[in-house]
Amino acid sequence: MKKAQALEALAALGQETRLDVFRLLVKAGDAGLAAGEIAARLDVRANTLSSHLSILQRAGLIRQAREGRSLRYRADYAGMLGLLSYLLEDCCGGRPEICAPLGSLCIPANPSC
């Protein structure tokens, strides 16, 4: 990931509703959620949600797929991993033992890990 991509992803996540949407989609896993379901769960108007979804999609953090007459959204785990990798690229000044605890942040009981 390049710096510009990381900045776009961080800017997208730097807004409360978009962060909530992204976290909700991560929790939903591979099943994802329809736009209407996201709007209902987060109590967000459809037109407002549409804008937030577009920003997250442009940032490479979510993806959309048409299923019948509705759109289903899923977290883009490759995009999330790219952002995390970028942020940790220069981690710990060349001392990997300092960064080792970061590997335990993903709770094994969480199905999205």
CATH number of the domain that residue 21 is part of: 1.10.10.10
Within 10 Å of residue 101's Cβ, how many Cβ atoms?
8
- 97 located within any domain: yes
Buried b (16+ CB within 10 A) or exposed e, 23-34: ebbbebeeebbe
Contact 57, 72 (CB under 8 A): no
The structure tokens listed for 55 are: 């920003």
In a domain, 8, yes or no: yes
pTM of the entire structure? Answer: 0.82
Q: pLDDT-based confidence at 109, cuts 50/70/90? A: very low
Look up the domain containing 95 and give its range: 3-105
Does position 90 have pLDDT exceeding 90, yes or no? no
User: Is 59 exposed, middle or buried (CB count within 10 Å of its CB: 0-12, 13-18, 19+)?
Assistant: buried
Q: Is the pLDDT of residue 112 over 50?
A: no
Q: Is residue 113 part of a domain?
A: no
